[in-house]
Structure formats: C-alpha cells, structure tokens
Amino acid sequence: MDGHIKINRKLLALLLLLFVGVVSALNLLAQDQEFSESENRMLEQLPTFSLKTLMSGTFTSDFEKYVSDQFIYRDIWIGVKTDTDRITGRKESNGIYLGKDGILIQNFIPPAEEDLQEKVDAIQAFDQATPSLKKYVMLVPTAAALYKDKLPKYAMVGDEEAYLGKVQRLLPPSIHFIDVFPALYAEREQPIFYKTDHHWTTEGAYVAYLELCRQMGLTPQSKEDFTIQQVTGEFYGSLYSKSGFRHLQPDSIDLYLPKDPENYTVTYVDEEESTDTLYAMEQLQKKDKYAVFLNGNHALIHIKTAHPDGKKLLVVKDSYANSFFPFLLKHFSEIDVVDLRYYDGELTTFVNEHDIDDMLLLYNANTFFEDPSIKYLSE
C-alpha cells in the first residue's frame, strides 16, 4: 500500500512539473499581445529595466503586471476561475460584483480627501478664469449607487451618493450642479444601465437629458420625437470583460433617431475627419459595441448643427456623454467636445477663442473620482 502511495505521489509531482514546464515554454514562445479583445483594454508590455526602476520597486511591480497580462490562455484561466467562484458561492471578481438578475456592478472606492479637493479646486480655478462662461456639472451615479439592493449581502461598497453630495456642497453657487440621482432612481426599474457594461443606456441618458433641460431652461424633446431602434442584441460590455463572469445574457443597444432629422457635421479635429452622423455603425461588428456612439473617445470633436442662431456649448466629458449628444443637437448651434484624458491644449484659451456660451462637465462618478486629468482643467 505504501508503495502505491509513493508511486502516485511521484506521478502527480511529475505531472505537475510537466504541466508547469509546458506552460512556461508556451509563455516563452508566445508573442506578446498588445490588446485584449475579451477584456477590451491594452495589455501590459515588457517594462524597460534600469537600476533606478529596480531600486524604486516599479520594475518589479510592472513586470508582475506584464506576466499576468501576457500569461498564455489568460482568457480561459479567468473564465475557469470565475466559474469556480460562482460554484462556491463567491460573487465578486476584480472589483465587480455579480448582482441579482444577472447585473454586474462595479465597486465604488471612496476617493482620498486631498485628491477630491484638488479636483474641486481645479474646477473653481477654471470658473474664475472664464467668468463669462455659464457652467453646469453633471456627475452621474453608477449602478453601485442605484442598485444597492441587487448587490450580494456581503458586498462592501462605498457610499457613492454621499460623495456626489459632497462635491455639490464644495462647488460655488456660480457652478450649477445637476443632480440626476433622483430622476434616475425613479426610473431604476427601466433599463437605464447595461447589465454587462459600466455605461448607462440611451434611455438612461434621456432621463438625465430631461433634468438638464429643466436646469438650463430648455424645452425638451419627447420620446415621441424619436424612433427607438435596436441595433444589436449581442453586446457584452466592459464589466463582463473585466470580471471574467460568463454565462450571462447579453445587452442590447438602442439608438434614439429623430423622426424629423436635420443635417449636422461631426469633425474629429485631431484626425482631420468629418462625417454627417453621430454613429459609427461599423463598431457594432467589434467587441466594444458602445463605441457606436461618436466612434469612441477622442481628444476634441466639433459638432456644427442646423441651428446657427443657437448658443455654443462646450462639453468636457468621459464616455458617458457619447450617448448623450443626440439629445443636444436641437438646442445649440455648435458643440465642442473635449476629453481631458486625451486633450493636451489649454482649455481656458480654447473657450476664449471660440466665444463659447455654456459648458457642461459630464462624468460618471467612478471616472470623476478616479481619473487625475480633471486636475488639469484650468492649466
């Protein structure tokens, strides 16, 4: 009996060594990938070695990320892990919870107080540098705030609503804070957020648009003014990719197309390309189908509408705004769209040179609290 046990142990050890050896060899032979289609993100590349990066610890940290990102058959291992977690009752992966009704909810991590204050200071500095520009701030709550009841019981999620309220209190009265939480919460039983993606749906954007019109004194368009067209029913979004949770129902994407369409021009400034549509329909054939709106994120976009007598609007935004623009076309003559994560110009100079009347800063809560580029708003 003891002999059989020893033989079995040796066989298991040999198989383990063989497995590790094969995987290691495949990792060495495999070509590094730049982009993960399933995770919809850029992958870590081999860091450059130097004594300075080694001593500071950044090389070790970056190399660990590189090995993790470039591990052979990474997508398969992630799927196996999350499937195992679900079997054992665990409903969290990579900061994302699997909630009731198959909705994926990204955790909200409260920001550092100093970091939050720096962002508010940057907004105030920009306000002082552009006194003639009327400003509106819309920070959109995410599913973590609107669907707390769908989170697993053990989920430890920060109080996103409280931090949104704090920003509102810190901003001066000259900046109009558009609180869309009540409006979105009232419609929470409707599909205002995708279940597999971190964005709101076009319906969610429409709900917020109604609140914006109320605050800006605009007459909103009704739903009856649009033809709502489903352009895909096979959308698996960013949270599906990041979490590794599988066996979920895909989302659909709807476009709100005006029944009385007007001519307008969308110019991607850096790319020097123009088009007559807000939609890049070819993106529906790719993984990141949300990029159908405005063809994804760009540093600077200029939209010229069919209303030359209207005001000029500047939108400083993240990707939540991309599905928001169809509702704005009737209200403004020109709309300039800036994404600070990619834009390297001076926004104060841009505003003064283009005689802009109104500004809308539109971010979802996670991006606003996590992304550092907002600190450079006034620079």
pLDDT score of 362? 98
Q: Does residue 231 belong to any structural domain of this protein?
A: no
Same domain, 319 and 272: yes
pLDDT score of 28? 59
Place of tokens 């590189």: 66
**End-to-end CA distance of the chain, in Å?**
77
Among residues 102, 123, 151, the one where a domain terminates is 102
Distance CA 363, CA 315 (A): 10
| Structural domain harbouring 135 | 108-193+210-221+260-376
Q: Does residue 226 belong to any structural domain of this protein?
A: no
Same domain, 293 and 347: yes
Q: What are phi and psi of 59, to 5 degrees?
A: -65, -45
Q: Does residue 234 belong to any structural domain of this protein?
A: no
3-class DSSP state of 302: strand
Among residues 102, 134, 157, the one where a domain terminates is 102
Same domain, 121 and 75: no
- Do residues 267 and 302 make contact, with C-beta atoms less than 8 angstroms apart? yes
pLDDT score of 373? 94
Among residues 102, 126, 154, the one where a domain terminates is 102
> Which residues sit opposite 98 in a β-bridge?
104
Among 377, 317, 300, 314, CA closest to 346? 377
Same domain, 269 and 329: yes
Same domain, 74 and 153: no
Same domain, 112 and 215: yes
pTM of the model: 0.82
Same domain, 40 and 139: no
Helix (H), strand (E), coil (C) string for 79-125: HHHHHHHHHCCCCEECCEEECHHHCEEECCCCCCHHHHHHHHHHHHH
Q: Does residue 245 belong to any structural domain of this protein?
A: no
Model confidence over 282-296: pLDDT tens digits? 999 998 999 999 999
Distance CA 247, CA 196 (A): 11
Distance CA 177, CA 185 (A): 17
CA quadruple 124, 126, 132, 136: dihedral, nearest 10: -60
The list of the chain residues with pLDDT below 50 reads none
Q: Does residue 13 belong to any structural domain of this protein?
A: yes
Q: Does residue 244 belong to any structural domain of this protein?
A: no
Q: Which two tokens stand for residue 251?
A: 């989302």
- State how many domains the chain has: 2
pLDDT score of 132? 94
